[in-house]
């Protein structure tokens, strides 16, 4: 049973517009949520995170929104740029008192920004 789901395998957006990537989760024990970006032939790179005590976190063009009651988070990229074309992974982790955290990943959404 998949605990983190990204239901859109792909998304195409015009350059300059807003990209919205969605993620749903089922485990109410998740306390931290992260977005990673992956280019071909590279490992995932950390983009932005949010803890469950917040509902929004912003970093430049990237904003993550968390709706705990709906168990839903989204990543907004505005304005979208061609370099944003990549696969985006949503990940979640329960709070860990021991430190090393177990991330559970979604399947990924391939974002294509069209010029």
Partner 1 sequence: ETGVTQTPRHLVMGMTNKKSLKCEQHLGHNAMYWYKQSAKKPLELMFVYNFKEQTENNSVPSRFSPECPNSSHLFLHLHTLQPEDSALYLCASSQDRLAGMNEQFFGPGTRLTVL
Residues that bind partner 1 (CB under 8 A): 2, 4, 32, 34, 36, 41-46, 49, 51, 89, 91, 93, 97-108
| Residue among 42 and 70 whose Cβ is closer to partner 1 | 42
| Residue among 91 and 113 whose Cβ is closer to partner 1 | 91
Report d(CA 112, CA 107) in Å as an integer: 16
CB of 78 to partner 1, least distance (A): 23
Nearest to 103 by CA among 25, 40, 41, 42: 25
CB of 40 to partner 1, least distance (A): 10
- Cα dihedral sign for 105, 9, 39, 112? negative
CB of 16 to partner 1, least distance (A): 29
CB atoms within 10 A of CB 56: 10
């Amino acid at each position: 049973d998949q605990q983190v789901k990204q239901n859109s395998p792909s998304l195409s957006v015009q350059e300059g517009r807003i990209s919205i990537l969605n993620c749903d989760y089922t485990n109410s024990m998740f306390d931290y949520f992260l977005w990673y970006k992956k280019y071909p032939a590279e490992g995932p790179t950390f983009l932005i995170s949010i803890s469950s005590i917040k509902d929004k976190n912003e970093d430049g063009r990237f904003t993550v929104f968390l709706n705990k009651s709906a168990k839903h988070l989204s990543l907004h990229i505005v304005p979208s740029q061609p370099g944003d074309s990549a696969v985006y992974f949503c990940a979640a982790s329960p709070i860990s008192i021991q430190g090393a955290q177990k991330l559970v990943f979604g399947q990924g959404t391939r974002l294509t920004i069209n010029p």
